[in-house]
Amino acid sequence: MCLIIHGKVHGVFFRASTKETANQLGLKGFVRNRLDGAVEIIAEGYENDLIKLINWCQTGPDMAKVDSVEQYWQPYVSEFKDFTIN
């Protein structure tokens, strides 16, 4: 699954909080800042856990202001060993 989060998501610990949340959910993949000001998440795991991540991304950490979350579901390919910040 790929998520693109728009809003005030840089400089508010969004990536670190995403990593913590993904680890709690047992997800694998990565999170990174994009040059356009958005945050991109690639995550793999059980569908119900991915949905929990999507729901969390709707608000993110306390200092974030999320305007929108784009979702792109992709086939599971198990290419990640853990969840990282890129």
- Angle (nearest 5°) at CA 78 between 84 and 20: 30
Contacts for 85 with CB less than 8 Å, ≥ 6 apart: 15, 16, 19, 30, 31, 32
Catalytic residues, by residue number, are 15, 33
Residue 28 bridge partners (DSSP): 44
Secondary element (H or E) of residue 22: helix 14-25
